Amino acid sequence: MEKRDSNPYDLKTHEEAPSSYLSAEELINYFNSHGIPFERSDNLPRFCDNLKIKMLKEQRDGSFGSVPTKYEKISLSKLEDIKNSLKSINNSFLGREYLKKKKALILKIFDDAPLTNKYDEKLDALPESGDSNFTGEIKKKRKEIVKEKRKKCVSYSKIARIVGEKLGCHSSRKYVRKILEVARSTQLEKKLIKVEKN
């Protein structure tokens, strides 16, 4: 018995695909050239169906082989939307790649940040609000030190924001905390910003 062509998405068959349609190999090359890594052509129909990329079947030459599937060449703007969406899906091929990038960047930002104690020592050396020798000038100095500390030191939220901006993807405070608690647990007290009083 002749094996029936697989057509799980009930695609229409055309004698010849429009010029705006690509072969599986061409579409994969198109994805790869725009920063969307893709290798397995057998996953391509399901991937395109999920993303509402139009597909059709093109009549094959001869009676042997399967009926080839053709895929609409999507616009660069839609390609960018897909790329941004995949970055935040951790079990996607692009999402897994960005998880590695996120982790590396989180650790780099944390490692490059200064220790908080040098600012704490400056604050400890100054009178606090309520002390008899606390003046307007002292208050101004304390504010300047706290401002510089907040600018140069890091917190979970600050690292998440920087990572998101640099990689152009979602990065949460919760994920930053998870990475640092595993990889830099002994340094957290020394480097993370705490709420300071002026």
Residue 3 pLDDT more than 80? no
pLDDT band at 38 (very low <50, low <70, confident <90, very high): confident
How many beta carbons lie within 10 A of that of residue 158, not counting itself? Answer: 18
Q: What does the pLDDT look like over 152-176, one tens digit per residue?
A: 999 999 999 999 999 988 899 999 9
Domain ranges of the chain: 13-87, 93-191
Q: What does the pLDDT look like over 130-140, one tens digit per residue?
A: 999 999 999 99
The helix/strand/coil state of 70 is: strand
What's residue 64's pLDDT?
63
DSSP state at residue 54: -
β-strands 55-58, 69-72 pairing:
antiparallel
Return d(Cα 22, Cα 51) in angstroms, integer.
16
Residue 5 pLDDT more than 80? no
> How far from 48 is each of 38, 40, 95, 122, CA to CA, in Å?
12, 13, 17, 59
pLDDT band at 2 (very low <50, low <70, confident <90, very high): very low
**Which spans in the chain are helix H?**
24-33, 44-50, 76-87, 93-112, 117-124, 136-152, 156-167, 173-183, 188-191
pTM: 0.72
Residue 4 pLDDT more than 70? no
Residue 196 pLDDT more than 60? no
User: And the tokens for 57?
Assistant: 């079947």
Q: Provide the residue type at 188 as one letter.
A: L
pLDDT band at 65 (very low <50, low <70, confident <90, very high): low
User: And the tokens for 39?
Assistant: 């290798």
Residue 69 pLDDT more than 90? yes
Higher pLDDT residue, 87 or 179?
Answer: 179
Q: What does the pLDDT look like over 106-119, one tens digit per residue?
A: 999 999 999 999 99
Contact by Cβ (8 Å): 55, 49: yes
pLDDT band at 197 (very low <50, low <70, confident <90, very high): very low
Residue 19 pLDDT more than 60? yes
